[in-house]
Amino acid sequence: MATTTLPTFHGFGLGLRVPHYDDVLATKQPLDFVEVISENFMVDGGRPLHMLEQVRASYPLALHGVSMNIGAVDGLDMDYLKQLRRLADRFDPLWVSDHVCWTAVDGIQAHDLLPLPYSDEALDVVSRNVRVAQDVLGRPLVLENPSTYLEFPGSMTEAAFLAALCARTGCYLLLDVNNIVVSATNHGRSIDEWLDHIPLDRVRQIHLAGHSQGRDLLVDTHDAPVPTSVWDLYQRFISRLGPVATMIERDDHIPPFAELLAELQVARDVAGIAAAA
């Protein structure tokens, strides 16, 4: 198995989106790393890869995917994995991450992060796929908890599922604090259960983001500043985790770069307070 230990990396970064390329390239910004969406760069050529070369020359990089389909019952798309491997080999990222979800079945793509039941069968499927992905990629995977709007009958909690997945495969976790708040609120679940059961030693990165109130449920829209509920939970996690790579995601209503830097400073302050407590 190709799984190895991920080197420790701490710092504060941003999810880099097109409107901010010029900002990060014009001058060295106070960012310890940037994260990009892998699929946006899994292309034959052209401007995206050209820009990423320049970004990578100045910043450590994390590759974050949305289409690995780690919950695929019929196994992973090997062409996708090989293309991702080429991207990772070219840009030498801190790590490669994706989500604990499924995104396609029978060759039809949902283009969304669809929920898995936290069942023994799903754990078997995902564990098998994670091992395959780690072998093809030649590096350990980092997997993120998605926001969910549906729950299916299962035999364990989401946190227990993730803990078992890490134990079985050696993968790491990207803890999306906003997604925990969204999912726990939508399903009436306890956030404490997350704090108590997540394997802290496997967490390599934290996502912070905003959400919005949909007609019936909280929706992970990434279109607003990080809300108080997410900052509070971040502080609780960081006080247990210690230093961990932390990043703010904004995918819609993207504000001026300076606003995101200011929000990232809040994350530094919150982490500092947690560390001092």
Instruction: Decide whether 11 or 154 has the Cβ nearer to other proteins.
Output: 154
What tokens appear for 272 in the block? 């500092």
Contact indicator for 8, 19 with CB cutoff of 8 Å = no
Nearer to other proteins, 156 or 266 (CB): 156
Among 215, 228, 276, 277, interactor with other proteins by CB under 8 A: 215
Task: Supply the DSSP string of 108-163, one letter for each residue.
Answer: EEEEEEEPPP-SHHHHHHHHHHHHHHHHHHTS-EEEEPPP-S-----SS-HHHHHH
CB 245 within 8 A of CB 238: no
For other proteins, the binding residue among 30, 106, 188, 276 (CB under 8 A) is 106
According to the binding rule CB under 8 A, does residue 63 interact with other proteins?
Answer: no
Tell me if 188 contacts other proteins by CB under 8 A: no
Question: Can residue 45 be called a binding residue for other proteins (CB under 8 A)?
Answer: yes
Strand 12-15 vs strand 245-248: parallel, antiparallel, or unpaired? parallel
Residue 103 near other proteins by CB under 8 A: yes
- Considering only residues 143 to 172 of the shown chain, the ones binding other proteins according to CB under 8 A are 148-152
Q: Which of 206, 164, 166, 211 is nearest to 184 (CA)?
A: 211
Residue 167 is encoded by which pair of tokens? 């134990």
Structure tokens at 64: 């974050």
Q: For the CB of residue 39, give the shortest distance to other proteins in the complex, in Å.
A: 6
Q: Name which position in 19, 75, 138, 214 contacts other proteins (CB under 8 A).
A: 214
Q: Which stretch binds other proteins (CB under 8 A): 11-19, 113-121, 203-211, 223-231?
A: 113-121
Give me the phi and psi of 65, to 5 degrees please: -105, 165
What does residue 185 show for φ and ψ, rounded to 5 degrees?
-65, -45
According to the binding rule CB under 8 A, does residue 46 interact with other proteins? yes
Closer to other proteins at the Cβ: 182 or 267?
182
77 in contact with other proteins (CB under 8 A): yes
Nearest to 248 by CA among 6, 41, 17, 69: 17
Among positions 1, 26, 50, 276, the unique one binding other proteins when judged by CB under 8 A = 50
- Interacting residues with other proteins (CB under 8 A): 39, 42-50, 67, 69, 71, 73-74, 77, 80, 102-112, 114, 116-117, 119, 121-122, 125, 148-152, 186, 214-217, 219
